[in-house]
Amino acid sequence: MRLDFPRFDGFDPLGWIFKAERFFEYHNTADDQRLMISSFHMDGKALQWFQWMHRNDQFTNWPVFTKALEIRFGPSEFEDHQGTLAKLLQKYSVFDYQSDFEALANRTTNLPPSFIVSCFISGLRPDIRSEVRAFQPKTLAHAFGLARLQEAKFLDSRRSF
């Protein structure tokens, strides 16, 4: 199976680092080769930044590079992702809310699963929230499924009238 190395243009650095590390892991890429391979897959502002940093000997190894990449293109370390997650509210569809929720949850660590489930349910629209809460889901997957089911139920009832 042929796997292509991901390109990086400055957007979603945490996702790109994850994909790159998975690629290197799959191909058993030596640490001293990772920077060279990455340099061929930079575009736009990311390439300009990489060139400047490389010319100034700022990258000594892969961990130093990924940390610098996160600092330059990633979210600020001063952002409160846990607080934002706890305050996130559903504005559109459950699918859109779930996507936003997952993106934020991906930036948090060491939160108890019950707290994550509670945050998700609390941010649902009130008509969906009460129905989902009644089922007392214990997992996030269960809460996601119940929310989508309740949304479909409400959409169907509105179409009936």
Instruction: Give the pLDDT confidence of 44-54 residue by residue, as tens digits.
Output: 999 999 999 99
How large is the average pLDDT for residues 133-159?
90
**What share of the chain has pLDDT > 70, as a percent?**
96
What pLDDT does residue 161 have? 61
What pLDDT does residue 77 have? 63
Rounded to whole angstroms, the Cα distance separating 127 from 111 reads 27
Please provide the distance, in angstroms rounded to a whole number, between the alpha carbons at the two ends of the chain.
52
Contacts of 58 (CB under 8 A, 6+ apart): 64, 68
How large is the average pLDDT for residues 114-140?
93
Where in the chain are the domains? 13-73, 81-160
What pLDDT does residue 78 have? 61
Mean pLDDT taken over the chain: 88
pTM (2 decimals)?
A: 0.59
Distance of CA 146 to the CA centre of its chain: 22
The strand ranges marked E within the chain are: none
Rounded to whole angstroms, the Cα distance separating 15 from 82 reads 19
- Smallest CA-to-CA distance from 64 within 44, 35, 36 is with 35
